[in-house]
Structures are given as C-alpha cells and as structure tokens.
Amino acid sequence: MPIGQRADSRAEVRKAKGTLTARRRLAAGFVLALLIVAVAGWISYTNTARLLVSDRRVRHTYRIREHLGTVISLLRDAETGVRGYVITGHEDYLGPYNAAARAINRNLSDLQRLTARNPTQQQRLEALQPLITARLDALKQVITVRREKGLTAAAETMRVDPGRQLMEHIRASLGDMKNAETGLLLRQEDESIANTERMLRALVLGASSGVAILLLVFFFLNREIIERGRAEQALRASEQRLRALVEGVKDYAIIMLDPQGLVASWNPGAERIMGYTAREIVGRHFSAFYPRPDVQAGKPEMVLRAAEEIGRFEEEGWRMRQDGSRFSASVVVSALHDDDGRLRGFSKVTRDITERKQAEEALRESESRYRAVSELTSDYTYAFRIEPDRGAVVEWVAGAFTRITGYTPEEAEAAGGGITIVHPDDLPVAFRRIQILASGQADTSEFRIIAKNGDVRWVRETGRPVWDEAQGKLRIFGAAQDVTERKQAEAEARQHQAELAHLLRVGTIGEMAAGLAHEINQPLSAIVSYAKGCARRMRANGEPSPELLDAMEQIAAQAIRADQIVRRLRSFVRKQEPKRERVDLNDLVRDVAHLAVSETRQRRTTMRLDLAPELPPIQADGIQIEQVILNLIRNGLEAMHQPHVEDAVLSIRTALNGEDTVEVAVSDSGEGLAPEHADKMFSPFFTTKPHGLGMGLSISRSIIEAHGGRLWATPNPERGATFRFTVPVSGGEDVDAA
C-alpha cells in the first residue's frame, strides 16, 4: 500500500505541474488577446479621431466652398438686380442688390473666419475683397447713374463697365480658392480613406487574432476543464477506493491527525484495535493511546516532532486501548504536507502485534530452549543444504564433532563429507537416511562411523529438513549423539538375555524331564499295581504257577526299573541345587523389564511398571525368579500378538500381600483366557502356540512352588488376563529348612 500511495502522489504532482503551465498559458493567451484587442482599439480610436478631424475639415472645406459659391451667386444676384433696375428703373429690383451687398460682406467675413488657418486662402481672400468691393461700388455707380442720368447713361456705363473684368477676376479668384479647397478636400478624402483602411485592417487583424487567441484559450480551457473533470473523477474514484480500503482494513488502525495531534479520522480497524468509536475519539488528542508514563514523558509530542522533521516516524511499543488494556503496537506516523510545504497533519497507521510479539517471544524461547536442549542432549549439531548441482553443502558444524570423529569439519568436508566416515556396513543406513531427508521427512538413524584413529563409534543422528522459502533450498538441521556406550550396554544386555535364554533352555529340559518322568511314572505305577495285584490273587487262589508268578513279579520289577531310569535322568538334569539369597523383587522386575524392552518395542507394545515403593526382601534364586517374570512377560506379549489387538499394554505390578508374601502381577490386554484351557495351562506340554513346547508356565509354576509360593491366572474385567505369583518374604517361613 505505501508504494501505491507514493505512485499516486507522484501522479498528482505531475498533474499539478501540468495545471500550472496550462494556467500560465491561458493567462498569457488572455493577456495577448487583450493586448491585441487594445492595440486594435487604439488604432481604431486614433483613426476614428483622425477621421472625425478630416470629416470636420471636409465639412469646413465644403462650407468654404459653399460660401465661395454663395459669394459668386450673390454677386450675380446683385448684378442681375442692378441690371433689372437699369432696365426697368424700378427700385424693387434693387432689393436683391442690397441683400446681396449685405450678405456678401457677411459671407466674406465668414470666409475670413473659416480660412483663418489657411494663409494662402487668406491672402487670396484679402486680394479678393477689394475686387468685390470694387465690383459692388461699380454697380452702385451704375445705380447712381441710372437714377441721375437715366437709362441710356446707365446702359452706357454698363457697356463700358470695367466691372465685367472685375467680375472675371473675382470669378477666377474664387475659382482658385474653390480649387484650393477642392484639392484640400481630395487630400482629406484620401487621408480619410487611408485612415479607414488602416482602421479596418487593425480591426480585422485585431479581431481575428483576438478571436483566434480566444479560441485557442477556449480550447485550452476546455481541455483543461475536461482534464480537470477527468482528474477529479479519477481522484474521486481513487479517494473512494482509498476510503474503501481504509474502511475495509481491519487489522490496521489507519487514522489522520491534524497538525496539533488531534484525531481527524478513524477507521474500523482503529475501532477494532483501540476500542474507541469514531464519535468518541475524533477531536481528541492522540496521546489517549499512550500509557500514562509515556504521556508524562512527552512521547506523543516527540513522535509528532520526529515525524514532522524526518517525514516519517516508525516504532514498536506499548499502546493503550479504551478499556485501559495494553497491547504491543507497530506504529508508523507520517507527516502530510500540502503543495506549499505547509504541515497539514499526520497519518498514523497502527498494528496490533501482540500475537506476533508473543510468537516471536515463543520462538525465541523455543529456539533458546532448543539450543540449550540440543547442546545438552547432542554432542554436535550441524546444518547443510541440498543444492541441485553440488549435492549436500555443509553450512555449519557446532559442538564436539572433532572430539568424536577425530576429524575437523574441514577435513571431513575435504574428504567428501560426513558420508565418508560412515562404517562400510552401515552405508545403506546412511544412504537411506539421506533419501528420507531429501524427501522432506525427518529421520533418526543410528549407525557406526570410523573415527580418525580407527575407532568404531556409534552415533545417533536426528535430521530435520526445513524448506527455505527465500532461497528455494532444502536445509537440513541435524543433531548427533555419541551412543557408543549405550550400544555397548545394549550388547551386554543382549548377552545377558542370551544367557538367560540359555538358562531357560536348560531349565526347560529339566522341566521336560520332570514332566516326562511324571507322565511316565503314572503308567509305570499302574503296571506295578496290576502286576502285584495279579501275584497276590495267584497266591490267594492257592498253588500258583511259579513261572507265571515269577513273570508277574518281573513285570513289576521292570516297571520299577524303568521308573528309576527316568528318575535318574530327572535328577541328572536337575542336579543344580537351587540357590537361595536375599533379593529384592523390584530389582528383579526392573532387570527383566529392561531385557524385554527391545522385544516390547518390536511388538509395538507399551510396557508399564507399577512397583511398590518398598518391598521386603525374599529368599530366592534370583535367576529362576527372573526366568518366571520373563516367561510371564513373553506370555503376555504373545497373547497380544494378534493383528486385531490395539493399544497393546503390558503392565507389571509388584505389591506386598499382607505381611508375609510379595506379589508380582503381569497383566496383558490380549485375548484373555479360554475357560477350557484354564485347568490345563500350567500342565507340562500344554500349549496353544503352534511351536510352543508347553513348558513355560509349567516350569514357572514349579519354580514358584519350589520357592513356597503360588502362581495362578485370572481374566481381567475388560480384556486380557493377569498372571500373578506370590513368594514368601524372607525371615518368615524358612523355605530352606522345609
């Protein structure tokens, strides 16, 4: 998640930069457009102003030309009036003349005013004025002539009239003036057209470029708006996703703090971990999560300062829930800044790592315990990994490897690894072990190694493969023990067992002889009795045949002889006198149980010893009693040696019976006793086993009886049977004397 966040913020920065340049571009566009419009406006304004000036001038010029025209026409009006007066003599015709004379002067003064700024025209006007005055004076003279001298004089005056030439002058002068004004007008018009054209150009250019720029700005703005919309939408979506994520996170408390450390937001994970609901905590200072001593030490402020300075503060420590309970927390506080680098607040992600801490603690503890135990129980430990191309590569060897093997780990490695010191006879065991380990299963094997000095030593190696996920390799941890002494002890025990078995065989032969003797004794006795009975009857019936009588006596004598042969055989096998010594029954049971351990293990049977704390000693032949106990144990094991017997348990108890006998009880969980066998099972040659001799229980019973005890069997309430024997304690009845 942190990576995603970073990527997001980068994208935002990029976007922000893009927005910045776009905004500048837009502003520049606007300014440009404004400038263009302003320039165009200015140009238009100045041109319009100039146009107005030239228009006023044109109008001025037109008025001058009008006035000039008016002067001409007034003069003609005056001339026409005068002529009318001359012809008619009517004073009426002098009206226009008088009006014209007045108007002309007014016109001329107007012209003077209008052309005040045109020196050329002023000069022409000044030159014109005396001509006009002269003309009017000339006409006045005509009028005077007519009035005083009549028509003819007047006509004459008129005919010779110098005024005509004057008139021509005036006309020409006025024409000049008019022409000058017309020229002025044309110039003005040209100027005006040029102005208008300039203005038009400026307008068109300004307007079009302004429009273009505005279009551009609009385009950019539009794009910006769309982009911003899109960005906002994306932002909203991402915010929604983020919020959903934050809301959905239950294992992390994700909260926001304002710059002062007051809680600004709260997620369900925070509620789950801390216990507060959003309503309860938002607005409160986050030091509420710290244990009091931490708060007093000013830790919350320190955390904020550290986060502000470094940007991110990470720690593991104790935090407090609403109910005051503590938990081990992993906390990351990050400072949040806005674009201008101002501190906006903090994000705080808290995780409850109590379980992890506990697991770590447990792991540490179990590791150290394991190390301690393996140091105690192992002579050396090692680890190697299996690599596809190199095979087993030893990583480390610790402990007394060198003391036991005589090789240093380096020597062993150089020689080709531990396998090279394995005893040749045990190589199959070692190879099989490696196969098992390589298949990922743990293995414990015992095998011999040949030490550097040639000694053969037994080691017991326990290997445990661990798949190293990170490296994709199988690593095997091993612990080895030097079990040479135990193996020797086991060999001695086996020897002892063999001797006991030998004794048992010898005893068996003796018991066989005894049983045989007993069985043969019965018919021999019957023969003797029959024969003697016959002899007696012969005699009693008087005069018996001496041969028959003799034969009868011989039958009896031979039967007695046969019995004596059997009797000698029996006493020969049983010639050893039973020993009697003080022994502890518990010791005997322990010894035998020890001998039987491997047998019980082979048969997957659990053997339990339940020995009375203290037993008085007995007077007995220890070996014989051991023989009985072993017999009973074997019997029990065989009774349970059936495929359907599960949870095979053989328990051996010793107890004090009253004051004068001790008891041994061997219980099995086998098939129990068949009622039809109950009577016979202690008889010699009785057996239910395919290859049994049927002597075991018989021998056992005779041994126990010879010790003054009893041996019997009872069925167990649940399953199986219990065989018990009792032996009198020593110091009670003296068995030897009996």
Partner 1 sequence: MPPDPTVFVVDDDPAMRDSLRWLLQSVGLPVQTYAAAEEFLEHYDATWPGCLVLDVRMPGMSGLKLQDVLAARHIQLPVIVVTGYAEVPTAVRALKTGAIDFIEKPFSDELLLDRVRQAIEADRQTREAEARRAAAMERFTSLTPREREVMKLVTAGKANKVIAAELNLSPKTVEVHRANVMKKMEVDSVADLVRASLLLQSDQGKP
- Amino acid, res. 420: T
> Which of 140, 321, 680, 710 touches partner 1 (CB under 8 A)?
680
Q: At what angle do helices 2-88 and 94-114 cross, to 10 degrees?
A: 150
* 622 sits near partner 1 (criterion: CB under 8 A): no
Looking at the Cβ atoms of 635 and 702, the one nearer to partner 1 is 702
> Which of 403, 706, 731, 734 touches partner 1 (CB under 8 A)?
706
* 563 sits near partner 1 (criterion: CB under 8 A): yes
Please report how close the Cβ of residue 631 comes to partner 1 at its closest, in angstroms. Answer: 20
Q: What angle do CA 45, 48, 53 make, to 5 degrees?
A: 125
Please report how close the Cβ of residue 715 comes to partner 1 at its closest, in angstroms. Answer: 18
CB atoms within 10 A of CB 33: 20
Looking at the Cβ atoms of 481 and 730, the one nearer to partner 1 is 730
Looking at the Cβ atoms of 23 and 536, the one nearer to partner 1 is 536
Q: How far apart are alpha carbons 169 and 388 in whole angstroms? A: 134
Between the CA of residue 575 and those of 481, 579, 580, 673, what are the distances in Å? Answer: 48, 12, 15, 35
How many residues line the site for partner 1 (CB under 8 A)?
Answer: 33
Please report how close the Cβ of residue 560 comes to partner 1 at its closest, in angstroms. Answer: 6
Q: How far apart are alpha carbons 39 and 419 in whole angstroms? A: 100
Q: How far apart are alpha carbons 650 and 720 in whole angstroms? A: 10
Site string for partner 1, 682-701 (x = CB under 8 A): -x------------------
Binders of partner 1 among residues 707 to 726 (CB under 8 A) are 708
Please report how close the Cβ of residue 451 comes to partner 1 at its closest, in angstroms. Answer: 57
Looking at the Cβ atoms of 111 and 735, the one nearer to partner 1 is 735
Q: Is 457 left (phi over 0), alpha (psi -120 to 50) or beta?
A: beta
Please report how close the Cβ of residue 721 comes to partner 1 at its closest, in angstroms. Answer: 18
Burial (CB < 10 A; 0-12, 13-18, 19+), residue 366, is exposed
Binders of partner 1 among residues 541 to 560 (CB under 8 A) are 556, 559-560
Binders of partner 1 among residues 397 to 456 (CB under 8 A) are none
Looking at the Cβ atoms of 370 and 530, the one nearer to partner 1 is 530
Going by their DSSP bridges, the two strands 312-320 and 263-265 should be labelled as unpaired
Please report how close the Cβ of residue 658 comes to partner 1 at its closest, in angstroms. Answer: 18
Please report how close the Cβ of residue 522 comes to partner 1 at its closest, in angstroms. Answer: 5
Looking at the Cβ atoms of 460 and 570, the one nearer to partner 1 is 570
Instruction: Give the residue ranges of DSSP H helices in 275-416.
Output: 278-281, 292-296, 299-310, 354-377, 401-405, 409-415
Looking at the Cβ atoms of 596 and 699, the one nearer to partner 1 is 699
* 705 sits near partner 1 (criterion: CB under 8 A): yes
Please report how close the Cβ of residue 422 comes to partner 1 at its closest, in angstroms. Answer: 58
Looking at the Cβ atoms of 628 and 640, the one nearer to partner 1 is 628
Please report how close the Cβ of residue 544 comes to partner 1 at its closest, in angstroms. Answer: 12
Tokens of 671: 């098939």
Please report how close the Cβ of residue 668 comes to partner 1 at its closest, in angstroms. Answer: 24
Question: DSSP assignment, residue 644?
Answer: T
Q: How far apart are alpha carbons 650 and 632 in whole angstroms? A: 10
What does the CA dihedral 200, 203, 207, 209 come to, rounded to 10 degrees?
A: 90
Please report how close the Cβ of residue 711 comes to partner 1 at its closest, in angstroms. Answer: 13
Looking at the Cβ atoms of 276 and 686, the one nearer to partner 1 is 686
Site string for partner 1, 623-662 (x = CB under 8 A): ----------------------------------------
Backbone phi, psi, residue 10, to 5°: -60, -45
Q: Is 74 left (phi over 0), alpha (psi -120 to 50) or beta?
A: alpha
* 677 sits near partner 1 (criterion: CB under 8 A): no
Between the CA of residue 47 and those of 30, 204, 209, what are the distances in Å? Answer: 25, 14, 19
> Which of 15, 164, 285, 567 touches partner 1 (CB under 8 A)?
567
Tokens of 466: 């661990």
Please report how close the Cβ of residue 457 comes to partner 1 at its closest, in angstroms. Answer: 52
Task: Provide the CA 469 distance to its chain's centre, in angstroms.
Answer: 15
| Stated length of the chain | 738
Q: Is 262 left (phi over 0), alpha (psi -120 to 50) or beta?
A: beta
* 570 sits near partner 1 (criterion: CB under 8 A): yes
* 67 sits near partner 1 (criterion: CB under 8 A): no
Q: How far apart are alpha carbons 237 and 227 in whole angstroms? A: 15
* 735 sits near partner 1 (criterion: CB under 8 A): yes
Which of 308, 524, 265, 482 shows the shortest CA–CA distance to 379? Answer: 482
* 1 sits near partner 1 (criterion: CB under 8 A): no
Binders of partner 1 among residues 484 to 543 (CB under 8 A) are 514, 517-518, 521-530, 532-534, 536-537, 540
Looking at the Cβ atoms of 61 and 698, the one nearer to partner 1 is 698
Can you give the three-state secondary structure of 1-30, one letter per residue? Answer: CHHHHHHHHHHHHHHHHHHHHHHHHHHHHH
Looking at the Cβ atoms of 503 and 527, the one nearer to partner 1 is 527
Please report how close the Cβ of residue 504 comes to partner 1 at its closest, in angstroms. Answer: 21
Tokens of 138: 């000339």
Please report how close the Cβ of residue 571 comes to partner 1 at its closest, in angstroms. Answer: 9
Binders of partner 1 among residues 125 to 184 (CB under 8 A) are none
Q: What angle do CA 156, 157, 162 make, to 5 degrees?
A: 125
**If DSSP codes are grouped into helix, strand and coil, which group holds residue 512?**
helix
CB atoms within 10 A of CB 348: 24
Positions that interact with partner 1 (CB under 8 A): 514, 517-518, 521-530, 532-534, 536-537, 540, 556, 559-560, 563, 567, 570, 679-680, 683, 705-706, 708, 735, 738
